[in-house]
Amino acid sequence: MVFLICLFFLLPVSAQAQSPEQQLMRLSHSIREAETRSLEIDEQLQKLRDKEQNLFNKIMEYRYETAKAYHSLKLIENSPDRNLFLLPERSYTDHVYNQRKSETLRDILLSRIAIQTSTLLEIQQKQNQIKDYIQRRDSLTMAVDGSLSQLKNINASRAVSDNFQNTINRLKEESRSLDDFMNSLLQLPTPIMTDETPLQFSLPVSGVITNEPTGIRINAASRALVTTPERGLVIFAGEFLPLGKLVIINHGEGYISILQNLDEIYVQEGFQLQANEPVGVLPEKNRDKTGNNTMLYYELRYNNSIINPIDKITGL
């Protein structure tokens, strides 16, 4: 709850004294932390569900054992030999033995009933924890959506060159493949941000990384925020069939990033971006499927040759 209060109330207050770039950096950092926390909550929820299922299976086993013990007790009570100790040839020792046996069975039944009661109480506590985690996850989702709306409004206020966009659209229509399109883009005079610091690439989104022939696939959370791997100029932002919505960023020094499979794009051609600025979000996860539609495909090129992004990302 402290995180949500900070996200909804403290950020707008501090944003008044900061530039749009600083606002974007703070919002991106807060959203990344919220998404990481959401993934942790989902993992905890799954563990609690698994534990609940195990507890349920144990209860069923205890009930079965209790029923067997109760049936055995009834058989003893209804047996014609239960009164044999009254006959002269039966000793008092046999009677005591049978009586203790019945008391032992009764104690076993009472003990197992107590175990079942304790297990049911534990299950109820786990269910309450699951409900609490679900509420916290929903609150985080609302906070992320609100922050993304603010980021989208800030990016919309940036100026974009109409001539540059028209040239990009014409090249897109004339290109038959992504490689043709990239060759055409590289021939355009695209000014790069003047920054003498070395390029240090980072993951554009948090998730599970899988190597692919031409890049990496990052399976992330639903509606996860995608940020710039490094500073650079947006030379294309839009839909490119059949690859869907993608963003191409020229970082200078021969490096170009291609971010594919976006659901919404928050930048336009001509935007000068710093590292870790938001560029869009991934699609919403379809819970009826495996969730592969929430993955980001990241391709990195050096002098228009494909290289493995993992080799350039720091911290991996």
pLDDT by residue (tens digit) across 150-206? 666 665 555 445 555 565 565 555 545 777 777 777 777 665 556 678 889 999 999
**Number of domains making up the chain:** 2
Q: What percent of the chain has pLDDT over 70?
A: 73
Contact 259/279 with Cβ under 8 angstroms?
Answer: yes
Instruction: Indicate the pLDDT class of residue 314, thresholds 50, 70 and 90.
Output: confident
Same domain, yes or no, for 76 and 187? no
The CATH number of residue 91's host domain is: 1.10.287
Same domain, yes or no, for 201 and 227? yes
Same domain, yes or no, for 175 and 197? yes
Helix (H) or strand (E) holding 232: strand 232-240
Same domain, yes or no, for 179 and 127? no
Same domain, yes or no, for 245 and 271? yes
**Cα 19-195-23 angle, rounded to 5 deg:** 15
Does 241 map to a domain? yes
Q: What's the pTM value of the predicted model, to 2 decimals? A: 0.51
Tell me how far apart the alpha carbons of residues 126 and 128 are, in angstroms, rounded to a whole number.
5
232: nearest Cα among 297, 265, 277, 280 = 277
Q: What per-residue confidence (pLDDT) applies to 88? A: 47
Same domain, yes or no, for 191 and 305? yes
To the nearest 10°, the Cα dihedral for 273, 277, 280, 283?
150
pLDDT at residue 29 tops 70? yes
pLDDT at residue 307 tops 90? yes
Does 316 map to a domain? no
Same domain, yes or no, for 131 and 174? no
Domain hosting residue 170, numbered range: 162-311
Tell me how far apart the alpha carbons of residues 138 and 144 are, in angstroms, rounded to a whole number.
10
pLDDT tens-digit map of 48-60: 888 888 888 888 8
Does 179 map to a domain? yes
Tell me how far apart the alpha carbons of residues 248 and 228 are, in angstroms, rounded to a whole number.
10
Q: What per-residue confidence (pLDDT) applies to 225? A: 93
Does 129 map to a domain? yes
How long a stretch of residues is the chain?
316
Same domain, yes or no, for 168 and 151? no
Structure tokens of 217? 């696939």
Mapped onto helix, strand or coil, the DSSP state of residue 271 is: coil
Same domain, yes or no, for 237 and 136? no
